[in-house]
Amino acid sequence: MRPLALLCLFALSALTAAEDKVVIWKLDDVRAGEKKRLASGFKRVAEWAKAEKTVVTMGVICDSLAQPNADDIAWIKVNAIENGGVVEFWHHGWNHRSWKEAGKPMTEFRGPDVTTQAKHLKDASELFKQTTGLTFHAFGAPYNQADDATIAAMDAVPEITIWMYPPKNETKRKALGRTLNIEVATGKVSYAQFAQDYAARKPTTMMLLQGHCGMWDDDSFRDFVKIATLLKQDGWITLTAAQYAQRMNRK
């Protein structure tokens, strides 16, 4: 191979690698109802994203919208990326329940039949659209637990084309899998642990990083910002789930 051609090949490989260094911030458990209000942590992260000129994704638990809080709904509308904001809102289930039946652990999308799961998926999507005027395009199951019935039930919401942390046999939608963790326990961010894992794993492709910012204290928020700064300095760009899916479809 000629030197110039070899140089072009190396440049193309480097560009492809850089394009793959995408981080998606998956932030769970938005509630926006009169009984369960929007946690202040979501507002703090959104303000950070605006200041950083970046984006985040936030998952909505939709039964809270049955009695919506007007201020919380207004906040969702203003901050939605469709309206010029910095947040992609995604489907995080109807009620996020977990329970036991005859001693068997059950969750909203692991255990119930297809009909029940389809109703939860559709009711949540329709209520979110009714109250906000927005449409979900991505889904992430509560507790990241789903089964074969969920895969079949997802046909009830064809507008959802992206699934974060799906079962391994999901094939119809764009599957975004788990990579590293930023939380050492639910709601507890650790920069030290993330930096250690990041250095050991040396990831070079898309990272979907999950957090529960509604539960973060000041220390966890500061560690989140440190993680985001580390990744930015190391050449990672931030996209929403939908933006990343569009990017991959263009390749």
Q: For residue 209, count other CB atoms closer than 10 A to its CB.
A: 21
Question: What's the residue count for the chain?
Answer: 251
* Whether residue 1 has pLDDT greater than 70: no
Q: What is the pLDDT of residue 250?
A: 78
Q: What is the pLDDT of residue 179?
A: 87
CA distance 43 to 133: 20
Q: ∠140-205-42 over CA atoms, to 5°? A: 40
- 212-234 pLDDT, tens digit per residue, is 999 999 999 999 999 999 999 99
CA distance 207 to 41: 22
Q: What is the pLDDT of residue 190?
A: 98
Side chain identity at residue 116, one-letter code: T
Q: What is the pLDDT of residue 194?
A: 98
* Whether residue 17 has pLDDT greater than 50: no
Q: What is the pLDDT of residue 4?
A: 34
* Whether residue 10 has pLDDT greater than 50: no
CA distance 91 to 136: 6
Q: Which residue has the higher pLDDT, 49 or 102?
A: 49
HSE toward the beta carbon, residue 206, CA cutoff 13 A: 18
Q: Taking all residues of the chain, what is their mean pLDDT, rounded to a whole number? A: 92
* Domains along the sequence of the chain with CATH: 21-250 (3.20.20.370)
CA distance 58 to 25: 8
Q: What is the pLDDT of residue 200?
A: 97
Q: Which two tokens stand for residue 140?
A: 């992430």
- Cα→Cα distances 245→79, 124, 144, 191, 238, Å: 21, 22, 20, 28, 13
> Any idea which residue has 């289930």 for tokens?
93
Contact 230, 223 (CB under 8 A): no
* Whether residue 192 has pLDDT greater than 60: yes
Q: What is the pLDDT of residue 19?
A: 58
- 147-167 pLDDT, tens digit per residue, is 999 999 999 999 999 999 999
- 90-120 pLDDT, tens digit per residue, is 999 999 999 999 989 999 999 999 999 999 9
What is the per-residue DSSP string for the chain? Answer: --HHHHHHHHHHHHHHHHHH-EEEEEEEEE--BSSSPPPHHHHHHHHHHHHHT--EEEEE-GGGGGSB-HHHHHHHHHHBGGGT-SEEEEE--SS--EEEETTEEEETTBSS-HHHHHHHHHHHHHHHHHHHS----EEE-GGG---HHHHHHGGG-TT--EEES--TT--SSEEE-----SEEETTEE-HHHHHHHHHHH---S-EEEEE-GGG--HHHHHHHHHHHHHHHHTT-EE--HHHHHHHHHH-
Identify the band that residue 251 occupies on the pLDDT scale cut at 50, 70 and 90. Answer: low
